C-alpha cells in the first residue's frame, strides 16, 4: 500500500502547474474545450494569474472568469445572440465548476459556487437547444439527480457515472456529449456522494448495485429502455461502482470501466489519506472534497469506508471493456489487468493507452475525444454482434 496520494497523470507531462493535483485538473480543463469549456487561450491566460499550488488563488481566478463570462452572455442574449450566449455560459459553468473543486475550505464560497455552476449549465443547455432533460431517480427517501441527452428512439442508451470528484455535468464533458454525438442516448446520474448529492444527505457507499439498480429501474419504467440496448460506464471511482453493480445486475448488455477498481482500500489506505490531510495545495483540497462526499470527519474514517469498496469479477456476465492509461499510478493499471484476467466472459477487452495517444491520464481526461472513440466503437461492435445473434 502506497503512502503517496494517488497518481492521476504522468509525472513527465507538465501542462502548467508543479502542483500535481492542480495540473491534472488543468489538463482536464484544456481537454474540455471541444465540448464547450474554455479554449486553451482563455485557460492559459487565466492560469497566468494563479499562484502555483495556491487553491485560494485558483478559486478566485476561476470564479472571476465565470462571472465575466456570465456578464458577456447576458449582453449577447439581450442583443439576440442566443446561441453565442449559450456557448459563453457553458464556459462560465466550467469556470465555476473548476473553482468549486478546491473551495471546500470556505463553506460559504463552496455552497455559492454550486448554485452558480448549476445555473450556468442549465442556461447554456437551454440557449444552445440541446435535447437535454433533467431527471430525478427515486432512491430511498431522496432522489438521484441526472441528465439525459436524447439521441432518438432507435439509439442505444449509455448510462454514465463519474468518480469521487465529479458531477453529472462533468460527465457530460468527459464522455456524455461525445457519446451523444456518436449516436448514443447519454444518461449521466450522480450516485450517493457524487455531484451535490451530499446536500440531499446521500453519501458515498460501497453497495453501489443499489443506486445503479434504481437508475436502471427508472430508465426501463419511464423511458422504456430495453436491457439489450443498455450499456453502463464508470470512470475513476465510478469504475468501482459499475464493476460492483454488474456482479449481480443482469439488465445491461455491456459495461465499461476506466479503470475497473475492485479494491478501494489498497488505492487509498489510511497512510495515503493522512498524507493528503497533512498536505497543502490542491491535494489537501481534494481530501476535503472526499470528506464532504463521504459525510465523515477524519482520514481514518474515510480509509475504513474505502476498505469496503470491494468487487469480484467472477460474477460478471455482460461484455466488459477495461481501460487504463500509462500515466496513471501502477495501482490503477494493476487492478485493471487483474480485473480483466478474472472476468469469466469471452466478450472482454483490456485497452491500455500510452503517452503517444495523449489519452494516458486518469479517465483519459486529457483526451476525451479518444475516450469516446474507443468506448463507442467498442459498444457499436458489441451491439452489432448481439443483433446478429438474436
Burial class of 199 by CB neighbour count within 10 A (0 to 12, 13 to 18, 19+): exposed
Model confidence over 378-389: pLDDT tens digits? 999 999 987 754
Is residue 349 packed enough to be buried (19+ CB in 10 Å), middle (13-18) or exposed (0-12)?
Answer: middle
pLDDT of 240-281, one tens digit each?
Answer: 999 999 999 999 999 999 999 999 999 899 999 999 899 888
Distance of CA 140 to the CA centre of its chain: 23
Residue 282's pLDDT is 86
pTM of the model: 0.95
- Per-residue pLDDT for 32 more than 50? yes
What is residue 137's three-state secondary structure? strand
Asked whether the predicted pLDDT for residue 134 surpasses 70, the reply is yes
Please give the grid coordinates belonging to residue 55.
487553491
Tell me the average pLDDT across 211-220: 98
Contact 319, 255 (CB under 8 A): yes
Q: Give Cα 246 to chain centroid, integer Å.
A: 19
Between CA 46 and CA 35 the distance in angstroms is 19
pLDDT band at 212 (very low <50, low <70, confident <90, very high): very high
Q: What is the secondary structure of 271-296 as a DSSP string?
A: HHHHHHHH--HHHHHHHHHHHHHHT-
Residues 51-56: what's their mean pLDDT? 95
DSSP secondary structure letter of residue 18: S
Measured from the Cβ of residue 48, the count of other Cβ atoms closer than 10 Å reads: 9
Q: What is the pLDDT of residues 80-130, one digit of tens each?
A: 999 999 999 999 999 999 999 999 988 899 999 999 999 999 999 999 999
Position 1 scores a pLDDT of 45
- CA neighbor of 291 nearest in space, from 162, 169, 171, 204: 204
179-202 pLDDT per residue, tens:
999 999 999 999 999 999 999 999
Q: What is the DSSP-derived secondary structure letter of residue 7? A: P
Distance of alpha carbon 61 from alpha carbon 383, whole angstroms = 45
Mean pLDDT over each residue of the chain, to the nearest integer = 94
Q: At 162, is the pLDDT very low, low, confident or very high (cuts 50, 70, 90)? A: very high
**Residue percentage of the chain with pLDDT more than 90:** 86
**CA-CA distance, 104 to 56, in Å (whole number)?**
10
Predicted local distance difference test score (pLDDT) of residue 19: 87
CA–CA separation, 143 and 137 (whole Å): 5
- The model's confidence at residue 5, banded by pLDDT at 50, 70 and 90, is low
Q: Can you give the pLDDT at residue 182?
A: 98
Instruction: Give the pLDDT of residue 301.
Output: 97
All cell numbers assigned to 185: 442516448
Tell me what the mean pLDDT of segment 26-49 comes to: 95
pLDDT at 108: 92
Closest to 235 (Cα-Cα) out of 261, 212, 208, 257: 257
Domains of the chain: 19-130 (1.20.1440.110), 132-263+309-390 (3.40.50.1820)
Amino acid at each position: 500500500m502506497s503512502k503517496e496520494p494517488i497518481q492521476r497523470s504522468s509525472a513527465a507531462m507538465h501542462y502548467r502547474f508543479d502542483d500535481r493535483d492542480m495540473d491534472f485538473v488543468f489538463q482536464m480543463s484544456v481537454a474540455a474545450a471541444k465540448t464547450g469549456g474554455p479554449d486553451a487561450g482563455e485557460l492559459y491566460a487565466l492560469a497566468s494569474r494563479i499562484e502555483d499550488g495556491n487553491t485560494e488563488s485558483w478559486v478566485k481566478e476561476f470564479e472571476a472568469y465565470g462571472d465575466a463570462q456570465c456578464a458577456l452572455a447576458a449582453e449577447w442574449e439581450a442583443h439576440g445572440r442566443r446561441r453565442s450566449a449559450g456557448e459563453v455560459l457553458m464556459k462560465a459553468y466550467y469556470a465555476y465548476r473548476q473553482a468549486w473543486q478546491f473551495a471546500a475550505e470556505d463553506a460559504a464560497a463552496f455552497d455559492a459556487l454550486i448554485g452558480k455552476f448549476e445555473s450556468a449549465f442549465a442556461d447554456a443547455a437551454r440557449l444552445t437547444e440541446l435535447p437535454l432533460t433533467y431527471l430525478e431517480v427515486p432512491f430511498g427517501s431522496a432522489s438521484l439527480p441526472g441528465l439525459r441527452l436524447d439521441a432518438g428512439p432507435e439509439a442505444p442508451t449509455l448510462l454514465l457515472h463519474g468518480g469521487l470528484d465529479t458531477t453529472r455535468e462533468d460527465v457530460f464533458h468527459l464522455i456524455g456529449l461525445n457519446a451523444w454525438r456518436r449516436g448514443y442516448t447519454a444518461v449521466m446520474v450522480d450516485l450517493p456522494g457524487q455531484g451535490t448529492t451530499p446536500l440531499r444527505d446521500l453519501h458515498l457507499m460501497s453497495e453501489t448495485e443499489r443506486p445503479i439498480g434504481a437508475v436502471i429501474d427508472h430508465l426501463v419504467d419511464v423511458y422504456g429502455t430495453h436491457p439489450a440496448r443498455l450499456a453502463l460506464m464508470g470512470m475513476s471511482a465510478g469504475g468501482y461502482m459499475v464493476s460492483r453493480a454488474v456482479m449481480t445486475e443482469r439488465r445491461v448488455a455491456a459495461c465499461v470501466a476506466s479503470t475497473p477498481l475492485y479494491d478501494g482500500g489498497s488505492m487509498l489506505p489510511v497512510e495515503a489519506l493522512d498524507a493528503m490531510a497533512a498536505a497543502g495545495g490542491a491535494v489537501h483540497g481534494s481530501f476535503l472534497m472526499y470528506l464532504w462526499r463521504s459525510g465523515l470527519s477524519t482520514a481514518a474514517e474515510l480509509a475504513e469506508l474505502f476498505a469496503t469498496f470491494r468487487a469480484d469479477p467472477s460474477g460478471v456476465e455482460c461484455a466488459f471493456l477495461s481501460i487504463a492509461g500509462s500515466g496513471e499510478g501502477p495501482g490503477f493499471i494493476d487492478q485493471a489487468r487483474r480485473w480483466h484476467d478474472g472476468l469469466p466472459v469471452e466478450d472482454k477487452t483490456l485497452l491500455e493507452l500510452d503517452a503517444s495517444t495523449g489519452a494516458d491520464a486518469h479517465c483519459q481526461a486529457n483526451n476525451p475525444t479518444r475516450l469516446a472513440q474507443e468506448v463507442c466503437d467498442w459498444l457499436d461492435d458489441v451491439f452489432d454482434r448481439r443483433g446478429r445473434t438474436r
